[in-house]
Amino acid sequence: DALRKAAELRFQAVELPTVTGDMTPQSLSASGRRHLARYVENLGLDLSALTADVPALRLTDPRTVDERVARTCEIIDLAKDLGAPIVTASVGALTHPETGGVSPLAVEALHRIGEYADARGVVYAIRPSCDAGDRLARVLDELRCPSIQIGLDPAAMVMSGVNPLSAVERLPDRIALLHARDATAGLSDRPGRETQLGEGDVDFVGLLSLLEAAQYRGAYIVRRCDSPRPLPDLQAARDTLARALHTS
């Protein structure tokens, strides 16, 4: 139903969640994967990415990291079967909040995921929220893995008090996907909150100008995580994004 509605509303690209519901690797047989890929194509949609947001399994937690890696690799296999070039996933802080030191556990886990993704021709795009551009660059420098890139969610960064433009300025050639999502800025005493696109603190004109200068050619995925009226909000966000792209 959601895919049909996306086509009816004339969206061009979709990103599908794969951790719960009908889209998990365990729920889709080989024939089911072939059918879904054909169904998306017949609707005129581009399956740009799968989302692998595995709750409560952190890359920096030795108790959960192995399960996180294993489940992520299953979703990478699913992406290959469906022809989706990117798997995105939210990540918490990958560096120490005070020293900026890179988490060795996270780097080792990301290296395992990156090698697996590389062997299957899939990009694993981490969606940071707490680490600014310089810190992300340290993580990627330690990894030295071209299959690990950035899925930019500017709202997540702004809500954590991080300037998302810093990621594009520091890593212009590593942005694989953009989530067009807005939010108010987080402060020291309170986090930010998601807003309708254009009503928050994300500088979309500046962000899109930087992406254009970097010759970004990836998808723009309009996303809302907290909305009482998602369909009209997504349509309005698409129109706002189109105007911002024209302005940039």
Chain segment 216-246, per-residue pLDDT in tens = 999 999 999 888 898 999 999 999 999 888 7
Q: What letters, b where the CB count within 10 A reaches 16 and e where it falls short, cover 159-173?
A: bbebbbbbbbebbee
157-159-163 Cα angle (round to 5): 40
Q: Give the mean model confidence (pLDDT) for residues 25-46.
A: 97
pLDDT at 188 over 90: no
Q: Residue 116: how many CB atoms within 10 A of its CB?
A: 19
pLDDT for 226 = 87
Q: Which two tokens stand for residue 134?
A: 């310089």
Q: Distance between alpha carbon 73 and the CA centroid of its chain, in Å?
A: 16
Q: Give the mean model confidence (pLDDT) for residues 198-219.
A: 94
pLDDT for 248 = 62
Nearest to 221, CA basis, from 92, 125, 129: 125
Q: Give the mean model confidence (pLDDT) for residues 10-29.
A: 94
- Tell me the C-alpha distance between 132 and 121, whole Å: 27
